Structure 1
Amino acid sequence: MCVAVPGEILEVREDGTAEVDFGGVRRTVSTALLPDLVAGDFVIVHAGFALHRVDPGEARETRELFRQILEEDEPS
């Protein structure tokens, strides 16, 4: 099973990559499939490629849900 966590584009580079933040974890991903991305966009990434642009409100809501789930899963 694969869980898609939206990441926020922090920087788009001229080499066809972007720096993406996944709630504090930063990764460099390929923008070859979505070449018109800009900083502030939210994307779904799989296997190192940005595959799908996500509505910012939906992305923030999803990230908040994941944060709540992880918080509840922590031992007391």
Structure 2
Amino acid sequence: MCLGIPGQIVAITDASRQMAMAEISGVRREVSVVPVAGADLNALIGAWVLIHVGFAMAVIDEAEAAETLEALRGLGEAQETLEAMAEGAKALEDAQ
């Protein structure tokens, strides 16, 4: 299973290599836009894309990006809860 994280393309950093700067939840990272590049790379500026292992894999709309980011936040909170429960269970086990 692959996980694509929504990010917004904010700049083209190297047109010859089809590289762009994407902002993902406030963090900027250079990504390859080869899979989604058209004739005009500048048309991607402002676009939302799904990013996986440094590649913009698909262009998505802003609503889909927001929904996906919210779901990922929910998964993170669920993971934190599960880890806290596991730590609590281990602490009880160690105390016995």
TM norm structure 2: 0.62
Structure 1 portions without partners, runs of 5+:
none
Distance 1:26 1:69 in 2: 22
State the Cα deviation string for residues 23-73 of structure 1 (Å, max 9, x = none): 233220112232344332111223422221011101111101111221232
Higher relative contact order (CA 8 A, sep 6+): 1
Q: State percent identity of aligned pairs.
A: 36
Structure 2 portions without partners, runs of 5+:
86-96
- Once superposed, what is the RMSD of the aligned Cα atoms? 2.2
Of 67, 70, 73, 2:76 maps to: 70
Q: Give the number of equivalent residue pairs.
A: 76
2:20 is matched with which residue? 18
2:60 is matched with which residue? 54
Tell me, yes or no, if the aligned pair for 2:3 and 2:52 is still in contact at 8 Å.
Answer: no
Misfit runs of 4+, over 4 Å = none
State which structure, 1 or 2, has the greater radius of gyration over its C-alpha atoms.
2
